[in-house]
Homo-oligomer: A and B are copies of this chain.
Amino acid sequence: MGMGAECHHEDGAHPGLSGGDLNVALSQAEVRCAQTQERLTAPRRRVLELLLEADGPLKAYDLIAAFGAHGEAAKPPTVYRALEFLERLGFAHRIESLNAYVPCRIGSDGHRAAFLICDCCGTAEEFEPDFEAQFAAAARSGYAVRAVTLEARGLCPACRKA
C-alpha cells in the first residue's frame, strides 16, 4: 500500500502518525472544524486518519481499500467526497502529478501548498512557496490567480546519495 518503495531507502521525511500523535492531530482537526461550523463526520475523519497514518502520499483507491476497520473497502464516492472536504478545509492536498493525496503538514491556515517529490522513495515534502514575484507580471496584465499547483520532482537528499 502507499507509494514509494521504488528504492531501498526509508521513507524518511514523514513517518506517519500513530497513537497519541495521531489523536492530537485528529483533535486539532475537530477543533478547527468546530470553529468554522464544519463537521468532521465519521468518513471524513477516517480518511484523514488514514492519510495521517501513512508514510507518504496515498492513492484514492488505497484509501478506498483501507477504509473499513476490518478490511472491507469503501465505495469510491465515500472517499472522494471526504477528500473533497479535507481539501476544502486545507486538511489535505492532492498531488496532481501523482494522482495521490497527503495530509497537510503545515499549520498555517489558507496557505499555498507546494511539494518536493522524490521519484525514488516516493516521499512528498510540503513547503510554502512564495509566488509574489512569479505572478506579479500576470496580475499586472489582468490575470486573477485563484489557486496554484507547484510540484517539483527529483531526488531527496537520502536517495541522491545512494
Residue numbers of A with Cβ under 8 A of B are: 96-97, 116, 119, 127, 129-130, 133-135, 138, 141-157, 160-161
Contact A149 B116 (CB under 8 A): no
**Least distance between A2 CB and chain B CB atoms (Å):** 21
Contact B160 A138 (CB under 8 A): no
Contact B130 A157 (CB under 8 A): no
The 7 closest A-B CB pairs, nearest first, are A142-B157, A96-B96, A145-B154, A146-B154, A144-B155, A149-B151, A147-B153
Contact B135 A133 (CB under 8 A): no
Contact B143 A153 (CB under 8 A): no
Residues of B within 8 A of A130 (CB): 133-134
Known interface pairs A97-B96, A130-B133, A133-B130; A152-B145 also in contact (CB < 8 Å) = yes
Contact B150 A148 (CB under 8 A): yes
Residues of B within 8 A of A138 (CB): 116, 127, 152
